[in-house]
Structure 1
Amino acid sequence: MPTSPERGRPSGQGPHQHRHVAEAFGTDAERYDRARPRYPQALVERIVAACPGPRVLDVGCGTGIAARQFRAAGCRALGVEPDPRMADRARRLGTEVEVATFEVWDPAGRKFDAVVAGQAWHWIDPVAGAAKAARVLRPGGLLAPFWNAFRLPPDLAEAVSEVCRRALPDAPFDHHAMAQGSLDAYEAVFAKAADGIREAGGFSEPEQWRFDWEWSYTRDAWLDQMPTLGAFTRLPPDKLAEVLEGVGAAVDARGGGFTMRYVTVAVTAVLDGGAGAGGGPESGPGSESGTGARDGGWD
């Protein structure tokens, strides 16, 4: 249950101005890669189908979760990741990675058919990021940052909210909204991504592609993921232990597991000079079902 990057921050500041929060994700890169959900296969397939070729740049690739999915779909993926710990894990798992923030990364004349970013574009300046993507994409190439938004079952969300309220009374976020999870909390992020693309220029009008899916968690699998989420990565060990104990009890009370509903949304635009991204009746904010494996949250 990550914290929306729009909450608890000074007015006018976006998450890309608080990159120190993102630096905590590499503290346990092995757990991050093991526990985080993947992305629906339908999303990967649609992006691949919309690209003019197989070369994919994965921005903020982390441990290479999305890059590996694109490689499995037949793409050649290069990652750019600012955290050396995350990059090292990605390399160990077979992803080629260059360590840098995207805005200052040197493409050395290389061009790509798609620029993607799984759960990472909100850590990048939306205008500078889109402008950089325009410089490294081939004409007709696709820019497609995407995010997993989750929703806990209502009864479990209420229990988790109460656990966090007791353990973290001074936390700078809305406990209930954090625990409940909501696509609404992401809408401002989608809008900023689209506005950045428009301001950078050179792209088609941004579209949203939506994919609905579910994933079943055991108690242990969910408690393994929680320390990797943005609201908890920098908690003192005693506070994290208190949260995990309370949430574990709440999951046990409903039978030791639950089914999470996910919505994955991609904000997509095509660099001028090529065919449209996807086209047909599915373009825009449609809905598709996908079978996800397990990465999500504000990270």
Structure 2
Amino acid sequence: MPTLPREQSEPSPQEPHRARRMAESFGVDAQRYDTARPGYPDALVARIVAGSPGREVLDIGCGTGIAARQFQAAGCAVLGIEPDARMAEVARARGLPVEVAAFEAWQPAGRRFDTVIAAQSWHWVDPVAGAAKAARVLRPGGRLAIFGHAYEPPAEVAEPFAAAYRRVAPDSPFSGMPARRPLDLYRAAYVKSAGTIRETGQFDEPEQWRFDWRQSYTRRQWLDLLPTTGGLTQLRPDQLAEVLDAVGEAIDALGGHFTMEFTTLAVTALRAATS
């Protein structure tokens, strides 16, 4: 997914959970985020629900409730945890109960859940503390499911995006990154998460799931989504306009639309049964 690098003063990309300024920047336009961001494959939601012992779900970093609403539609009772009050406000307006806190600091007050999910949000959680806390709030046999999208626009769109970014943020340490990142880069993050879950000693062996799908975007739809991604939430209006103009011209050259190839990746594990 197109993500602008964080400032040099922020932590390295190997520690995104420490980049709190970026992590809490998505609420700048929470309503746009809710409208523009894609949902998750129905098959993924169904598989998680079918493989959990009950219907009580905790959604870590629920944002505006995009994934949570899909689990509600599948018959689950969902509680959201979200550090950004602006995002939480939109989620509540859409019918999701939300408690405003970072997951690491959130107080469960003795509550336990059948399923803990993190949709496109686990990289903002301390991986060691997060896995241990997820184990504590899951019932024995409960499921932890961490998932998110890997998606890169076609080169005809990605390359003008990268070039415009380099113009508006020439000093970024990430300016030399390729315009399109390989799927293996995304998969490596989920393999690493599986290792952290395994190291808690509180879960059965983690599984890796993959769902491939596609979605068409018009010029307007993609330019609505782009400002909700990564460092674009922190650009000045003139910088953002330059990036969007370049991408818009690229989409116009493709006839005003393109098809995105999505891969939704997941790592999931059952809380080990206790005697």
| TM-score computed with the length of structure 2 as normaliser | 0.93
Look up the SS of the partner of 2:247 in the other structure.
Answer: helix
CA distance in 1, matches of 2:34, 2:128: 29
CA distance in 1, matches of 2:71, 2:65: 10
CA distance in 1, matches of 2:13, 2:249: 39
Look up the SS of the partner of 2:111 in the other structure.
Answer: coil
Deviations 1:267-296 (A, max 9, x none): 11111119xxxxxxxxxxxxxxxxxxxxxx
Q: Are the aligned partners of 2:3 and 2:232 in contact in 1 as well (CA < 8 Å)?
A: no
Q: Which residue of 2 aligns with 1:287?
A: none
Amino acid at match of 1:72: A
Deviations 1:49-84 (A, max 9, x none): 111110110000000000000000111111000111
Alignment coverage as a number of residue pairs: 273
Q: Does 1:185 align with 2:203?
A: no
Look up the SS of the partner of 1:272 in the other structure.
Answer: coil
Look up the SS of the partner of 1:156 in the other structure.
Answer: helix
Look up the SS of the partner of 1:223 in the other structure.
Answer: helix
Q: Which residue of 2 aligns with 1:232?
A: 232
Q: Which residue of 2 aligns with 1:91?
A: 92
Amino acid at match of 2:250: A
Q: Are the aligned partners of 1:142 and 1:268 in contact in 2 as well (CA < 8 Å)?
A: yes
CA distance in 2, matches of 1:54, 1:31: 29
Q: Which residue of 1 aligns with 2:44?
A: 43
Q: Are the aligned partners of 1:159 and 1:247 in contact in 2 as well (CA < 8 Å)?
A: yes
Amino acid at match of 1:87: A
Amino acid at match of 1:190: Y
CA distance in 2, matches of 1:230, 1:180: 15
Task: Give the deviation of 1:13 after TM superposition.
Answer: 5.0
Bigger relative contact order, structure 1 or 2 (CA pairs below 8 A, ≥6 apart): 1
Amino acid at match of 1:268: T
Distance 1:70 1:12, change over 3 A: closer
Q: Which residue of 1 aligns with 2:29?
A: 28
CA distance in 2, matches of 1:181, 1:31: 25
Amino acid at match of 2:263: V
Q: Which residue of 1 aligns with 2:270?
A: 270
Q: Are the aligned partners of 2:4 and 2:232 in contact in 1 as well (CA < 8 Å)?
A: no
CA distance in 1, matches of 2:38, 2:181: 15
Task: Give the deviation of 1:164 after TM superposition.
Answer: 2.4
Q: Which residue of 1 aligns with 2:209?
A: 209
After TM superposition, list the pairs within 5 Å mapping 1:47-58 onto structure 2: 47-58=48-59
Deviations 1:31-51 (A, max 9, x none): 110111111111101101111
Q: Which residue of 2 aligns with 1:294?
A: none
Task: Give the deviation of 1:20 after TM superposition.
Answer: 1.5
Q: Does 1:200 align with 2:177?
A: no
After TM superposition, list the pairs within 5 Å mapping 1:98-137 onto structure 2: 98-137=99-138
CA distance in 1, matches of 2:84, 2:137: 21
Cα RMSD for the two superposed structures = 2.1
Q: Does 1:158 align with 2:163?
A: no
Q: Which residue of 1 aligns with 2:144?
A: 143
Kindly, what percent of the aligned residue pairs are identical?
Answer: 61
Amino acid at match of 1:51: S
Distance 1:193 1:7, change over 3 A: farther
Deviations 1:171-192 (A, max 9, x none): 3324653x42432332342133
Amino acid at match of 2:195: D
Distance 1:260 1:46, change over 3 A: same
CA distance in 2, matches of 1:231, 1:191: 25
Q: Which residue of 2 aligns with 1:3?
A: 3
CA distance in 1, matches of 2:28, 2:6: 23
Deviations 1:207-241 (A, max 9, x none): 11000010100000000011100031101110000
| TM-score computed with the length of structure 1 as normaliser | 0.86
Distance 1:12 1:263, change over 3 A: closer
CA distance in 2, matches of 1:12, 1:167: 20
Q: Which runs of 5+ in 2 are unaligned?
A: none
